[in-house]
């Protein structure tokens, strides 16, 4: 499976700004139809991330940071995000953002 980076140009919408409104809506709708399948394929990775977040919160952390990085396989050999890229920032005493990155 090829991982598509969202910042790439979508060839299906090339010239969309020059098309009639109805065609624009059809293009957008066709692309929207791909979302449930894409999400479904990533449910195990999303579940891992949700579990990591829940564990972090239950350990008294109040703020989560997601580190960027390249797409790679997770610990179970699935492609997609890596829950290890989610870390907690300690609670700040001021109630602010803790002054961290």
Distance between CA atoms of 81 and 71, rounded to whole angstroms? 6
Token readout for 46 is 């999303």
pTM value is: 0.50
Distance between CA atoms of 101 and 86, rounded to whole angstroms? 13
Residue 84 phi/psi, 5-degree rounding, is -65, -15
- Could you say which DSSP state residue 66 is in? E
Residues facing 88 on adjacent strands = 64
Confidence of residue 86 (pLDDT cuts 50, 70, 90): low
Please tell me the predicted confidence (pLDDT) of residue 96. 45
- Better-predicted residue by pLDDT, 98 or 62: 62
Evaluate if residue 84 carries a pLDDT over 60: no
């Amino acid at each position: 499976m090829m991982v598509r980076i969202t910042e790439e140009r979508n060839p299906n919408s090339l010239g969309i700004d020059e098309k009639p409104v109805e065609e624009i809506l059809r293009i957008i709708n066709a692309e929207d139809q791909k979302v449930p399948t894409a999400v479904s394929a990533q449910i195990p990775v999303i579940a891992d991330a949700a579990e990591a977040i829940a564990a972090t919160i239950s350990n008294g952390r109040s703020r989560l940071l997601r580190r960027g990085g390249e797409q790679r396989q997770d610990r179970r050999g699935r492609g997609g995000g890596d829950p290890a890229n989610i870390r907690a920032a300690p609670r700040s005493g001021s109630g602010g953002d803790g002054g961290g990155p």
